[in-house]
Structure 1
Amino acid sequence: MSDSRLFPNEAPFVRLWRGFLTGRLMIAVALLVLQLLGYAFNQAQAFTPVVLAVCVAYLVATVMLRILGRHAPPYPGTGPHWLPSIGVDILVVSALQLLHPGTMNYTPLFGLPILMAAVLGTLTLALGTTAAVTLLLLLWAWWTGDQSSSDDAQRYLQSALTGTGYFVVSYLVHQLSARLVGEQEVAERSRLKAQVQTQISTLVIEHLNDGVLVVDEHDTVRMANPAAQALLGDGQNMALPFSLGNCVGWQPLVALAHRTFDEEQPQTADVALLHPGESPMGLHVRTWLTSTPSDQNSRAERVCVMFLHDLREMEARLRTEKLAAMGRMSAAVAHEIRNPLAAIVQANALLEEDLQDPGQKRLAHMVQQNADRLARIAEEVLDIARVQHQISHAPGATLALDASVAQVWSDWSSQDPARRRGQVSLETSMVQVEFDPEHLRRVLVNLLDNALRYMGPEEDSLVVQTRTSPAGQTTLQVWSDGASMDKSVERHLFEPFFSSESRSSGLGLYICRELCQRHGASISYQRTTRDTARGKVGGNAFTVAFRRTTRPVEPATLFDSIMI
């Protein structure tokens, strides 16, 4: 007896139970019809009111159990709960065999309760039911022996053989039922595992950065994760399933899928998706077949799985890796040139003291300027390692945003009041953010220095603003009215060693991004328009969005708006 039999409410057991109830009902109807037919054709010999009453009572009992007990079978163990089914069947068959006046034999109907016990009950219940039926058969052989002169040994032997056959059938049916239940349990466990695996695969695919398409031989896309839908292009009909042939721009993917099916081999290719009015989308595509005719599972439907990689992102990652390697090499070189560079600066200073000719002094001054520039570049290159060390060792800290921004602005603008002018709008006087004060100073100074290079001469050419959005997001923004950036420059703004100017090391914005990420903040660039005294003016805005774990502080004594 398997443990699964302890759970009779499972669907297969319920179906078997209802099948037996229906079978009992059909037998009850058949017995009643036979009694009525016997009365119609042979009233004197075949009709007995007691037998008819037994058949009617059996029909009523089977109907009631079919209605009341159809929801779940009884507990499979032995007990009185089997009396309304197995007990009633044995009692009715015994009564019919005993009370019927004719020669009709009702003992084959004992097979129904035996089968019910073997399929739905335990082995003990099955063998116990069979033993009870066998005893009744032997009792019937003894009873008929007293009323007839036939051979007693033959009747007992017949009953014993019938009982033995019932035992064999009961045991075999129970074993078959137990095996089927075991196989069903294995199939159910496999189904649950497959369901969990499918859910895991779906979650993984849905959150992959690379696009995944599942295409059949009719160019129908069965599955497409969000990354794939984004790579295929905006504005297309992405309701699954959809056909790749619906869009002319997807034809390279259709051709690659056809080649995969025809050659039955994985394919790799770089393709360009061309949509009218849009820039070409370069993709690196890899394809695989789920099965081929040579596979054992060749009867399964073949589908092509396509992995889509954005070539621009791949090139960006490669470029970042190259830049990182270049940065490590540059840092090593910068470290090595500091000592000889210091010697050159000192020698030039000593030489300049003895020079009298204006032309020679001008040359010495040029040497000094370029040596200072080279030293500054070397320091910026080495600054990357220092920043990484600071990031990894910086403790968590909080600061009053408005007060910190006002202090940094005051220090920065005081160095050159004639040029470093602008508007400061502080609107988060009651907000404290998680950021290291020195790191915030460094981020803001880098952004201000960057804006100073491109801003105009007007009073409102530079704006520093802090604010909190209705959703609770606190931001710091540095806006300047410089010219718009080229798209090729904008894509690489925060990469190390990238700069649109030959005199810049390209490390300022990269350091800002690293410091922001250390404190759970983010930095981004937008081309925005502001209302100024000159009207609407377009400009470049760098926005730092702080982590949303702010708390109020005591009211500050700063003015909300400062004009410098």
Structure 2
Amino acid sequence: MRKDPAEAPSSWFGPVEKQAGAWESEPGGESFGRLWRAFMAARVMLAGVLLALQAFIYALGQPVGQAMATLCVAYFVATLAVRVWAHPKPPGSNFDAQWVSTVGVDVLTFSALNFLQSGAINYTALFALPVLLSSVLGPILLALGTAASVTLLLLAEAWWSSLQLQGDSTARFLQAGLSGSGFFIIALLANQLALRLSREEKRARSSQSAARMQTQVNELVIDTLVDGVLVIDTHGIVRAANPASQRLLATEGAARSAPFVLAAEAAWQPLADLAQMTFGEHSPQQADVSLEHASRHARRLQVRTRLAASRDGSHESLCVMFLEDLREMEARVRTEKMAAMGRMSAAVAHEIRNPLAAITQANALLEEDLSDPGHRQLTSMVRQNAQRLARIVEEILNISRVQEQAPLEQTDSLPLDGMVQQICSDWAQQTASGHRLQVRAGAGRTAVLFEAEHLRRLMVNLLDNAARYASATNGAIQVATDITASGQARLSIWSDGQPLEKTVQSHLFEPFFSSESRSSGLGLYICRELCERHGALIGYQRVMHGTVEGNEFFVLFRSARAGEAFPRTGFDTMSV
């Protein structure tokens, strides 16, 4: 909505909106406040000088008018009151109340001093103070208006003097005109200098804010880096260290915050030597070092250094050191190799399917025409091994399918107890393992976020793995569901098999790892991939069931919303 010009604040020379002062839009007003207080202090000092001048004249025996003394005292009191009680406020383009008490008081006081002057004392130079005050702290029109008012008063004073005193009045008018012109020039120059200073200060403040923000971003990036970063000076003192470097350099479990001396620990001596080599040769260095700690195993690091040197030599050079754990590097390389091998295996498995299907079909046709038991035994061996190859190919392709599917926000839920009982029943019938399997459904009405087909594949893999190592006794395989103390639904599949070796436990869920020569080692890896896809957690532990110790694989699910719960099935024990 456009503002009515009649309602807009006005000044002598135009609307307020068009007249912006140098410090009017300054955030915080700190510079304006400092300048304002400086000018107010100058006014108090000038008023004190005028009082002292009147006292000095009186001490010399010269007459001092009562009006002159009263004016000086009143001006001193006015300037002191404004300095003590007034608050800095950016002006408009007109003479508002605050600026009447400053610029207006100054102009009227100095004009009165000129009218009341005695002897040869001239107070015209004092008008420079209100002109500078309005020029530096106000907009250009306020400065020009102040200069114009001073000029008019000087011309009026010259006219009055020409009426009171006989003689040539031309010199008086010429002096007033020259003084007024000088005040106009002072007003213009001072205002332009104030504007320039304000722009430079705003630009410096903006640059400082950008530099501060960039510093915060750099610190955030360095703090979140996986690699350790150290900043070392020429004296071997660590000026800065990010959390990753503190973890890598920690001794006896205690991390040390910067600043600290790098050579303070004997284990860090290789790093100190590398930093000194960087300073000595003025070139980056790279080396693999081993930090030998007495209380724990040695930590192997790859160290890279860069030299941050001042171009003009005005600042001290710094060595920036990057630390990377070689074990983590090797683990990443192994992961990348494993991923590449998985992609290659999937491609090879896809190419094997068609020839394998042809072999299986040809073997079946050949077996129909054979009657010799020895020949049929050979075709049976071909059939079994072809089926084994088919399973391996299918598992490899399953891995590829699971990895290619991006994790999705699960929206469907399923009743855990009902699905577990149904899957266990189907598996027991297919494998004829009903006498060995016991199921305890204790999750109640809990629903979990998991696709039904993926849960079936997960449980079948775990049940097949348990059946491979469990004994033939009743209850050798036990499946149970329950709710943990934190409210998570939990599925466990336990078997009474022999304990796993430590080396086997550390590689349980890795692909192509198995303790059996005839196993592909992909079953547990597929289970882990399925759990990660649905936000679940799978793990292994050795636990007791009654008096028998066995191997347990457990899964912690994400629970569905309360509104998606299913009817309670009760806590029961089912033997399939």
Coarse TM-score class (shorter-chain normalised) = 0.7 to 0.9
Instruction: Please list every run of 5 or more consecutive structure 2 residues that lacks an aligned counterpart in the other structure.
Output: 1-18
Q: What's the secondary structure of 1:46's corresponding residue? A: coil
AA partner of residue 534 (structure 1): T
Aligned partner of 1:354 in structure 2 is 370
Aligned partner of 1:441 in structure 2 is 456
The counterpart of 1:139, out of the listed 156, 172, 183, is: 156
Confirm or deny that 1:286 pairs with 2:304: yes
The counterpart of 2:42, out of the listed 23, 26, 30, is: 23
Aligned partner of 1:59 in structure 2 is 76
Name the CA distance, whole Å, in 2 between partners of 1:168 and 1:437.
Answer: 88
Change over 3 Å in CA distance of 1:477–1:326 after alignment to 2: same
AA partner of residue 307 (structure 1): F
The counterpart of 1:110, out of the listed 116, 124, 127, is: 127
Q: What's the secondary structure of 1:270's corresponding residue? A: strand
Deviations along 1:18-75, whole A, 9 cap, x unmatched? 1111111122222223223333332xx33222222212211221122112223x2342
Residues 3-42 of structure 1: matches in 2 within 5 Å? Answer: 5-7=23-25, 9-42=28-61
Change over 3 Å in CA distance of 1:343–1:410 after alignment to 2: same
Deviations along 1:436-461, whole A, 9 cap, x unmatched? 11111112222333344455778777
Change over 3 Å in CA distance of 1:357–1:515 after alignment to 2: closer
Confirm or deny that 1:384 pairs with 2:399: yes
Change over 3 Å in CA distance of 1:394–1:32 after alignment to 2: closer
Q: What's the secondary structure of 2:119's corresponding residue? A: coil
Instruction: Please list every run of 5 or more consecutive structure 1 residues that lacks an aligned counterpart in the other structure.
Output: none
Deviations along 1:180-207, whole A, 9 cap, x unmatched? 1001111111122222222333333333
Q: Is contact 2:488-2:556 (8 Å) kept?
A: no
The counterpart of 2:413, out of the listed 383, 386, 398, is: 398
Deviations along 1:218-274, whole A, 9 cap, x unmatched? 333343333333333472233343443343333333333333333333333333333
Name the CA distance, whole Å, in 1 between partners of 2:182 and 2:448.
Answer: 86
Residues 65-214 of structure 1: matches in 2 within 5 Å? Answer: 65-70=82-87, 72-81=88-97, 82-214=99-231
Confirm or deny that 1:554 pairs with 2:566: yes
Deviations along 1:341-374, whole A, 9 cap, x unmatched? 344445555359736466x665555444433322
Change over 3 Å in CA distance of 1:124–1:391 after alignment to 2: closer
Q: Is contact 1:28-1:62 (8 Å) kept?
A: yes
Name the CA distance, whole Å, in 1 between partners of 2:316 and 2:480.
Answer: 60
Aligned partner of 2:6 in structure 1 is none
Confirm or deny that 1:533 pairs with 2:546: yes
Name the CA distance, whole Å, in 1 between partners of 2:137 and 2:232.
Answer: 47
Q: Is contact 2:151-2:176 (8 Å) kept?
A: yes
Residues 194-343 of structure 1: matches in 2 within 5 Å? Answer: 194-233=211-250, 235-289=253-307, 291-293=308-310, 295=311, 298-343=313-358
Q: What's the secondary structure of 1:265's corresponding residue? A: coil
Change over 3 Å in CA distance of 1:320–1:141 after alignment to 2: same
Name the count of aligned residue pairs: 553
Change over 3 Å in CA distance of 1:512–1:33 after alignment to 2: same
Q: TM-score, normalised by structure 2?
A: 0.84
Name the CA distance, whole Å, in 2 between partners of 1:503 and 1:150.
Answer: 130
More displaced stretch, 198-207 vs 454-463: 454-463
Identical pairs, percent: 47
Q: Is contact 1:433-1:547 (8 Å) kept?
A: yes
Q: TM-score, normalised by structure 1?
A: 0.86
Change over 3 Å in CA distance of 1:386–1:90 after alignment to 2: closer
Aligned partner of 1:450 in structure 2 is 465
Q: What's the secondary structure of 2:512's corresponding residue? A: coil
The counterpart of 1:543, out of the listed 517, 536, 555, is: 555
| CA RMSD between the two structures | 3.4
Name the CA distance, whole Å, in 2 between partners of 1:125 and 1:401.
Answer: 81
Q: Is contact 1:460-1:532 (8 Å) kept?
A: no
Name the CA distance, whole Å, in 2 between partners of 1:476 and 1:276.
Answer: 44
Deviations along 1:407-454, whole A, 9 cap, x unmatched? 223333444465984665544322222211111111222233334445
Name the CA distance, whole Å, in 2 between partners of 1:76 and 1:69.
Answer: 17
Name the CA distance, whole Å, in 2 between partners of 1:65 and 1:302.
Answer: 53
Q: What's the secondary structure of 1:6's corresponding residue? A: coil
Aligned partner of 1:515 in structure 2 is 530
Q: Is contact 2:538-2:556 (8 Å) kept?
A: yes
More displaced stretch, 298-307 vs 192-201: 298-307
Deviations along 1:520-553, whole A, 9 cap, x unmatched? x1434354x6454238x58554434426756551
Change over 3 Å in CA distance of 1:251–1:442 after alignment to 2: farther
Name the CA distance, whole Å, in 2 between partners of 1:547 and 1:241.
Answer: 47
Change over 3 Å in CA distance of 1:467–1:306 after alignment to 2: farther
Residues 385-534 of structure 1: matches in 2 within 5 Å? Answer: 385-388=400-403, 396-416=411-431, 421=436, 424-454=439-469, 464-478=479-493, 482-486=498-502, 492-519=507-534, 521-525=535-539, 527=541, 530-534=543-547
Change over 3 Å in CA distance of 1:327–1:171 after alignment to 2: same
Change over 3 Å in CA distance of 1:367–1:551 after alignment to 2: same
More displaced stretch, 552-561 vs 99-108: 552-561
Q: Is contact 1:331-1:382 (8 Å) kept?
A: yes
Q: Is contact 1:425-1:560 (8 Å) kept?
A: yes
Name the CA distance, whole Å, in 2 between partners of 1:28 and 1:496.
Answer: 92
Q: Is contact 1:214-1:306 (8 Å) kept?
A: yes
Deviations along 1:140-161, whole A, 9 cap, x unmatched? 2233333334532222222222
Q: Is contact 1:475-1:546 (8 Å) kept?
A: no
AA partner of residue 162 (structure 1): S
Name the CA distance, whole Å, in 2 between partners of 1:105 and 1:409.
Answer: 113
Name the CA distance, whole Å, in 2 between partners of 1:250 and 1:69.
Answer: 62
Q: Is contact 1:402-1:466 (8 Å) kept?
A: yes
Change over 3 Å in CA distance of 1:357–1:532 after alignment to 2: closer
Residues 359-374 of structure 1: matches in 2 within 5 Å? Answer: 365-374=380-389
Q: Is contact 1:433-1:551 (8 Å) kept?
A: no
Q: Is contact 1:422-1:459 (8 Å) kept?
A: yes
Q: Is contact 2:247-2:255 (8 Å) kept?
A: no
Once the 2 structures are TM-superposed, how far is the Cα of residue 90 of structure 1 from its aligned partner? 1.0
AA partner of residue 557 (structure 1): T
AA partner of residue 63 (structure 1): L
